[in-house]
Chain A
Amino acid sequence: MTQQQEVLSIRGLSKRYRGRRGVQANDGIDLDVLPGQVVGLLGHNGAGKTTLVNQVVGLVRPDAGSITLAGVDAVARPDEARRLASIQAQANVPITGLSPRSAIELVGRIRGGERRAVQARTRELVETLDIGAWADVPAQKISGGVARLTAFAMTAVHPGRLVVLDEPTNDVDPVRRRLLWRAIRELADDGAGVLLVTHNVREAESVVDHLVVLDRGRVIAADSPGGLAAGLRGTLTVELDVVPGAQIAWPATVRDVTRERLRATATVPAEAAADVVRWAQGLVETGTVERYSLTAASLEDVYVRLVGDSGGGAHDPDGATTDARTADAVLGGAA
């Protein structure tokens, strides 16, 4: 892992916000990003992702630890760090008064790009992201999704050695999401190191080379997607679209049940798959569930297990249906 020099190398990074309710936002984080690599940074709201990013570009000063950006000490020399990194912030940058194209071009030149090169690259990005229809429209008339794609293009138009993208797919429609993922991959293929902050585990899975899972300021897992999913090999995920208000009585063979209002998932051992399909089909027929699917276990399942184990149930507002899952009466009935 060290034949190539890391574009970003973080060691023992800690940050505590003072105040009445002091928060340990980062707690001894280690993280590396290599050139050409897309590293996914996963975690709930409040896991410390944005604090981490803000320390890299010198908006927040760490209490302890080091941040090295392409060989430069980013804590001691924040100005230099900003020259080496480009950031897409989580909140959209307001660009009222400009059009997407003029905003992308201006930022490219502020970042140090030469006019012609910036114009050409802007055309390329507009085409890649398929936002040509809005490129020259005043920004007050564009949708949130186009604004988000514009913000991405403003970051990618003259990328630093490190590109940090904070939730780049928010508000973006499914078709352009795919284009965006491809553009992110291309950024890395062109040599940048990409740090991708996201909740969207499922979609990021196909793009990232390495994943770091943060929970309460700590790294609780770091591996390749395959490595992280290894523990779930031989398992499947069942996903149900639940009718509002319906209770689900899970078969005893499933694990890791999560339940949102209209969606429920659980992990299923491969050998129980046939039974679970019959059980789920029964639920569809009784009208408890609108549709179901059974797929190979995904990274999202790994992620939910990881943060579920250490994070308690805080992110599961409707409560897990643990009581019901021991009741196998339904399974017996369906089978």
Chain B
Amino acid sequence: MNGARQALLLAQWQLRRQSTMLPLLVVVQTAIAVATVVGYGLLVGDPPPEVAVFLATGAPTVTLISVGLVMTPQMLAQSKLEGSLDWMRTLPVPRVVFLLSDLAVWTLLALPGMVLGVVAGVMRFDLELSVAPWILVAVLVISLTAASVGYGMASVLPPALAMIMTQLLIFVVLLFSPISYPAERMPDWLQQAHEVLPIEPMAQLMRAGLVDDTFSVPGRSLVVLAAWTAVSVGGALMALRRRA
């Protein structure tokens, strides 16, 4: 039996299981996108163009990250608690296929909110984007990294702790990350922390993808992203393979 077919069937299972939640998921994503764009706009008053660009290009990143780092681990923790993860682990599906299909589902589920984030930003600040041809790849990379980190976290941590971590992370992502404002505004120690965390590279990648003529991505950021994805996928895979 070929792995790709199994992955598609599993993804179908997971997507249909979430189908009752999907409308809510899109509503929450929209709320986050609008909150980031409109809410921050209120905080800073009538923003000058360079601030507006940061806000508008930060919103899609925030929605991608919040699905990957917050909703993915919450859903995984829930499936651990309700026993469905253990049952799925008894199915004759290689662990890698199982993980990849789950990651694919969460990568895709984050996309509607991302699009809404861009639309909200452009409408609110009346921006001209210069979208790079590789934007789709960038979006997938960001979403995959976020989903992997979230999945890895929920795989390794006990469900209750994973749930608490997601609450904490949403604050870090919304307020204490250089997504919707430049890193220079943060204290030094936080800037240094963000040099090794995956959040800033995600924001840079998205910003460069949407406003190609003004921003670019440092190579180092791509390395950081790749490293986080690799470690997270490895951790999740080990947790899935683990036998008590």
Contacts and interface: CB of A to CB of B under 8 A. Distances in A.
Nearest to B17: A97
A109 interface: yes
B164 interface: no
A83 B243 contact: no
Contacts of B16: 97-98, 102, 106
Interface string B4-39: 001001101100111111000000000000000000
Interface residues of B, number: 26
A107 B84 contact: no
A106 B243 contact: no
Interface string A269-285: 00000000000000000
Contact of A140 (B20, B86, B89, B91): B20
A86 B93 CA distance: 12
A178 to B, nearest CB: 26
Interface string A3-43: 00000000000000100000000000000000000000000
A140 B16 CA distance: 13
Interface stretch (A88-96, A234-242, A254-262, A310-318): A88-96
B79 to A, nearest CB: 8
A235 B16 CA distance: 55
A60 B13 contact: no
Given A94-B84, A97-B19, A140-B20, A106 B90 contact: no
B90 A82 contact: yes
Nearest to B89: A59
A73 to B, nearest CB: 14
B86 A59 contact: yes
Nearest to A54: B244
Given A61-B244, A97-B18, A110 B13 contact: yes
B1 A61 contact: no
Nearest to B83: A91
A64 to B, nearest CB: 14
Contacts of A160: 92
A112 B17 contact: no
Nearest to A18: B244
A91 B86 CA distance: 10
B87 A89 contact: yes
Task: Pick the most buried of A59, A97, A98: most chain B CB atoms within 10 A of its CB.
Answer: A97
B182 to A, nearest CB: 42
B82 interface: yes
A109 B17 contact: no
B94 interface: yes
Interface in A78-136: 78-79, 82-83, 85-87, 89, 91, 93-98, 102, 106-107, 109-112
A57 interface: yes
B141 to A, nearest CB: 28
Contacts of B89: 57, 59
A161 to B, nearest CB: 12
Contacts of A57: 89-90
Nearest to B18: A97
Contacts of B83: 89, 91, 93
Given A89-B87, A106-B13, A60 B20 contact: no
Nearest to A164: B90
A58 interface: yes
A160 B94 CA distance: 16
A112 to B, nearest CB: 4
B20 A58 contact: no
Given A59-B86, A83-B92, A110 B244 contact: no
Contacts of B86: 59, 89
Contact of B91 (A61, A98, A110): A110
A89 B83 CA distance: 9
Nearest to A110: B9
B91 A82 contact: yes
Interface string B43-85: 0000000000000000000000000000000000000001110
Contacts of B6: 110
30 contacts: A57-B90, A59-B86, A59-B90, A59-B243, A60-B244, A61-B243, A78-B243, A79-B92, A79-B94, A79-B95, A82-B92, A87-B87, A89-B90, A93-B87, A94-B17, A94-B84, A97-B16, A97-B17, A98-B13, A98-B16, A98-B17, A102-B16, A106-B9, A106-B16, A110-B9, A110-B13, A110-B91, A110-B93, A111-B91, A112-B92
Given A59-B243, A89-B83, A97-B20, 10 more contacts: A17-B244, A61-B243, A85-B90, A93-B84, A94-B17, A97-B17, A106-B12, A106-B13, A110-B10, A112-B92
Closest 3 CB pairs of A and B: A61-B243, A91-B83, A83-B92
